[in-house]
Amino acid sequence: METDRLIEGVVKIRGYMRCGKTASMVALAVNEIKIGHFTPDKVISNVSIPSYGIEQQRNSEIIDFLARMKEEELRGWLILIDEADQLFSHRGYTGKQQSQVLVNIWQTMKLDNLIIYTMHEGLGVDLIFREATIMSLLPEIIGDRIIIYTIDGRFGGDPYLLEIAPASEVFKLYDTKQTVY
């Protein structure tokens, strides 16, 4: 199926601390809003982006949203999860709720939703979350440039370079020291 979307489905941004994971997620989210794929009122995020009216939600609210996504057919949502390895650790709880929440993630594209999540290098997310991920991105900040490389996924593993916005502009959009809770 052809699409005009640069990213879609479930997208992972991974890397070491302070490499630009959250900045890349925010830049991609703002780009999706600017080109009209999503509106700020249809964004749920555990990172606030005040200039777009996006308020930080607790991790428990993100989990609740994902749990309801399939049953309530919540369509056209942009879901941003910073530090997803905290919410859905590969060693985290394996209760029925987590499993059901993660099974719902398989329905992301059918519901015209987009999940962008970040995770630290070396850590992982739950197996179901990993398997539902369509594309993995690796960010790098060089001077005032945020450069994002695809490292697998829809582009067949071929290196792909994406430069969304100057880092100095992206850092103004959110609090780089805001903790995820």
Helices (H), 70-164: 84-87, 96-105, 127-132
Q: What pLDDT does residue 162 have? A: 73
Coil, helix or strand at residue 126: coil
Angle CA(50)–CA(48)–CA(97) in degrees, nearest 5?
A: 150
E-strand stretches of 96-178: 114-120, 135-142, 145-152, 160-166
Task: Tell me the mean pLDDT in the region 103-113.
Answer: 90
Residue 92 has pLDDT above 80, yes or no: no
Q: What is the mean pLDDT of the chain?
A: 87
Do 56 and 47 contact (CB within 8 A), yes or no?
Answer: yes
Among 10-19, 67-76, 123-132, the minimum mean pLDDT is found in 123-132
The 10s digit of each residue's pLDDT in 165-178 is: 789 999 999 998 88
Question: What pLDDT is stored for residue 64 in this prediction?
Answer: 92
Task: Give whole-number Cα distances, 69 to 18, 50, 103, 104, 177, in Å.
Answer: 31, 24, 11, 7, 29
Name the pTM for this structure: 0.91
- Give the model confidence (pLDDT) of 127-145 as tens digits: 888 889 988 999 988 899 8
pLDDT mean over 120-133:
85
Q: Which helix (H) or strand (E) holds 25?
A: helix 21-34
CB atoms within 10 A of CB 156: 8
